[in-house]
Amino acid sequence: MVKTIGILGAMPAEVALLAAKLGKEQKKRVGGVDFYEGTLHGKEVVLCCAGMGKANAAAATQLLVTAFGAEAIVFSGIAGNMTSRIGIGDVVVSDKVTYHDAELSMISQNYPNLTEYTADPALIHAAEEACNEAGVHHIVGKVATGDQFVGDTATKNRIKDLCDPACVEMEGAAVAHIAAKNDVPFVIIRAMSDNSDEAGAELLVGKEFDIREYCKTASEITEGVIKKL
């Protein structure tokens, strides 16, 4: 049985909803990251806003494991849709996670010697059940990660040809990589905020975009996962 669950998001809005629900909350700052320890549905939880990008995500994940004893990792937030099987507002639950901007043959020379990372079946199942109970349309699919916002058709098509993911974002593979390096189960949960194209770039980058509704979806699913563990 998992004793402590580590939860990450990339932006404050992605974790604020869950942080507000923690019981017996204690805040600690380690390595430039604020961690919130508490209980949620009777489970011990450590929650943090990792920050955007792979380096921030990897550092926060390692701290969750080594400094706070996390025995399972859940990353929730938003992502760009890469498939016609779902639309904006729907959710991707990871089965495989990979980098789209890395030399995988070199990265995989070190433990855990992988070019893609496999999410934990029990966590996937819990996330699917949480989606169903919340009435959120979802698929289980591959998540691709890179240190760039994907907001043009040419880049979208290049990534699709490379690894054909269900969605694209900036943190998941780093979280999965470090979780696998520590032999800790993980799952990535992403609510679609855009379609990884020019329209998405204009909306998310060119304008003041309200992500609260998408963050609410992701946080509700994460809370549902916690209930089931």
Catalytic residues: 14, 194
Query: Tokens at residue 49, please?
Result: 């806003």
Query: Tokens at residue 53, please?
Result: 């990008």
Among left, alpha and beta (phi > 0; psi -120 to 50; other), residue 103 is: beta
State how far the Cα of 6 lies from the Cα of 18, in Å rounded to an integer: 12
State how far the Cα of 168 lies from the Cα of 132, in Å rounded to an integer: 23
State how far the Cα of 145 lies from the Cα of 75, in Å rounded to an integer: 13
Residue 79 three-state SS:
strand
